[in-house]
Amino acid sequence: MIKSYGTGLNAPSVVMLEQVELSPAEQTEAAARRATYLANAAWASRHAALIGRTCAGRFVCIAGGELFVADTPAEAHALAGTAHPDEVGATYSTRVPDQQRPKIYAH
């Protein structure tokens, strides 16, 4: 867990790292949630061309191998959560760009 302490923009912040031990049941649940997320992300990757063509400028959320499209992230997550309540916290979501633009990588 990462916690940041400090107030205001100019105040020095202190970052504290703390390792939290999970029970075997919590570890199993986290592993299952991660596997579900990865499956949803893989589904999005396989259908990226279709999503890009049909959902430009909108938010998408993938749950249970289904695509949910909305105008806001909250709406997309609500649609996915209603259809797949067991996958809350394991969905894949993103905003689909409304047009193709060149990517500039600089630092």
pLDDT confidence tier of residue 23, bands split at 50, 70 and 90: very high
pTM of the model: 0.74
What are the strands, taking DSSP E only, across the chain?
2-5, 14-17, 59-63, 66-70, 92-95
Residue 27 neighbours by CB under 8 Å, 6+ apart: none
Residue 3 neighbours by CB under 8 Å, 6+ apart: 15, 16, 18
pLDDT the model gives residue 36: 95
Residues 84 and 92: beta-carbon distance below 8 Å: no
Mean pLDDT calculated for residue range 47-55: 93
Percent of the chain whose pLDDT exceeds 90 = 68
